[in-house]
Amino acid sequence: MSIIKTIINTQSDNFVENRDFYSERIKDLHQRRHRAHAGGPEKARKRHTEHREQILPRDRIRLILDPGSPFLELGELAGDNLPEGTQAGASIITGIGLINNRQCMIIVNDATVKGGTYYPMTCKKHVRAQTFAIQHRLPCVTMVQSGGAFLPEQEGIFPDEGMFGSIFVNQIEMSGQGIPQIAIVMGSSTAGGAYIPALCDEIVIVRGKGFMYLGGPQLVEAATGEKVGHEELGGAEMHCRDSGVTDHIAEDDAHGLNIVRDIVRNLGNLPTQRWDVAESVEPLYPIEEIYGLINKDTKVPNANREILARLVDGSNFDEFKANYGDTLMCGFAKIHGFEIGVLANNGVMFSESAKKGAHFINLCCQRDIPLLFMADVPGFMVGEHAERGGIAKDGAKFITAMCSAKVPKYTLITGGSYGAGYLAMCGRPFKPNAMLSWPSGRSGIMGPEQVANTLATVREDILKREGKTWTEDEREEFKAPHRKRFEDSEDAYNFASKLWYDAVIDPVETRETFALLLDLAGRSPKVDTKFGVFRQ
């Protein structure tokens, strides 16, 4: 047992100032979530509840989940402020919750946002939810009420991989792998919106409300001249009695959700947990103190050892190679009883830290221990000394180990995570099981000031070549828009909006979130790691 002892004075001006600053950020996070949870405009919500007498999407989720079940939402803030005009959440809600004691991926069209149609970000979010479900072998419950493609954005929805068609690809992949898929058609579901349920194992449809057709009445009339009503073309009676497209008729939303609960009850044995889970022990120091440990001045690195002391069970961190490569802290810890291998930055990555990290990842893979990358890294060391020391081959070793590792991997961006450092700490392209950030998380190729300086230097060289010069003010004027652009881009909410992060979480939610994620991963089969070539 190696308990991290704090050396922080929580009464100091600096701590209090940082804590107050971070508390404002947390308020902002909750306001953003609140906006996302509202769904579509008031008019559309009223039409949904009063005119159609339907239950709002988030209430549908509450009804289908077991009482008291958590709902781990993915992509809650996806789509916010995108130029394509989608609202926060991107007209779909995705997340994991318990239905009859079984963890399920729940995917819900929000018909109050442009008829539940699919924007480019909606497609991406649906695909991401499926990818998570495949990785964790989670049954998918899809509540369908969608007008299909959001037509003005067809180029971002239709032609390519990762767009709408990939939803079908994933459905068929899941089906082949024996991952159950259940759909409930709760409203008008047109075109792609009809194929999604059609590719599921079992379909419930709500009488008088759910309609499912490849083309709606207006389209049919325009295409063939045939005049036909919604019920005859795609209603519950027709599909359950004549076409056989759907399997169960529900009298209303609530009844339908109950039928889905019954279907989930009949999915067979619950998956068992493959890891020993110890009794959970709270950290020795309050988790809220993390707010005061993140400096409001982004140039000051985070006190990551102190942060770790407030995240892991009993503040116990069994460190590996504590005296070697100390800019990457590696060690074993527990979160709510689940063992994890932690890799947390403590400055720039050097050759030693990279080699140590690769060794540690290797150990975790041998022992089937999941990896948590706590990313807060300015990058890899540059300069002649580092290059002669072989930083390129040592960085490559680390990246090879991280990428090859098939144990569950999680990334938590706590501070500025830049360049190859962002990638090496299991950035999005390396497919961590979940990619999370605190509101203080920032990611980019470089920091905004470095980008502005680099571009200014390039410009300056060109000016010199042309025999010209510029003043300090002109240089600053040139730099300002680049700096601003990268400040906006590196922001955690920009990453969340583009779904490069699965979620932005409050530091105090971190332990519960990881406990849930680890429980899910432990209920899916172990995958063996086959390491690639390590350049020596």
Instruction: Note the residues at the interface with ligand COA (CB under 6 A).
Output: 111, 114-115, 117, 147-151, 188, 190-191, 216, 219
Which pairing describes strands 434-437 and 409-413: parallel, antiparallel, or unpaired?
Answer: parallel
**φ/ψ bin of 86: left (φ > 0), alpha (ψ from -120 to 50), beta (otherwise):** beta
**Cβ of residue 89: shortest distance to ligand COA, in angstroms?**
15
Residue 230 or residue 296: which is nearer to ligand COA going by CB? 230
**Cβ of residue 200: shortest distance to ligand COA, in angstroms?**
19
Residue 191 or residue 249: which is nearer to ligand COA going by CB? 191
**Cβ of residue 117: shortest distance to ligand COA, in angstroms?**
5
| List of residues 6+ apart from 106 with CB closer than 8 A | 61, 64, 65, 71, 93, 94, 95, 96, 97, 99, 140, 141, 142, 143
- CA-to-CA dists, residue 112 to 42, 106, 149, 221, 350, angstroms: 9, 18, 15, 26, 51
Residue 206 or residue 354: which is nearer to ligand COA going by CB? 206
Number of neighbours of residue 145 by Cβ within 10 angstroms? 28
**Cβ of residue 230: shortest distance to ligand COA, in angstroms?**
9
Residue 82 or residue 445: which is nearer to ligand COA going by CB? 82
Give the rounded distance of the alpha carbon of 115 from its chain centre: 24
Residue 222 burial class via C-beta count within 10 angstroms: exposed 0-12, middle 13-18, buried 19 and up = exposed
**Cβ of residue 356: shortest distance to ligand COA, in angstroms?**
53
Residue 54 or residue 351: which is nearer to ligand COA going by CB? 54
Cβ-contact 169, 134 below 8 angstroms: no
**Looking at residue 90, what DSSP letter applies?**
T
**Cβ of residue 147: shortest distance to ligand COA, in angstroms?**
3
- CA-to-CA dists, residue 302 to 123, 294, 317, 347, angstroms: 36, 5, 18, 9
Residue 148 or residue 156: which is nearer to ligand COA going by CB? 148
Residue 234 or residue 448: which is nearer to ligand COA going by CB? 234
> CA-CA distance, 521 to 515, in Å (whole number)?
10
Cβ-contact 202, 239 below 8 angstroms: no
Residue 210 or residue 331: which is nearer to ligand COA going by CB? 210
> CA-CA distance, 424 to 430, in Å (whole number)?
8
Which pairing describes strands 248-250 and 202-206: parallel, antiparallel, or unpaired?
Answer: parallel
Looking up tokens 């994620």 gives 517
**Cβ of residue 75: shortest distance to ligand COA, in angstroms?**
21
**Cβ of residue 210: shortest distance to ligand COA, in angstroms?**
11
C-alpha dihedral, 289 to 291 to 296 to 299, nearest 10°: 70
**Cβ of residue 190: shortest distance to ligand COA, in angstroms?**
4
> CA-CA distance, 233 to 136, in Å (whole number)?
37
**Cβ of residue 208: shortest distance to ligand COA, in angstroms?**
14
Residue 93 or residue 340: which is nearer to ligand COA going by CB? 93
CA diameter of the chain = 82
Residue 151 or residue 527: which is nearer to ligand COA going by CB? 151
Through-space distance between the first and last CA atoms of the chain, rounded to whole angstroms: 34
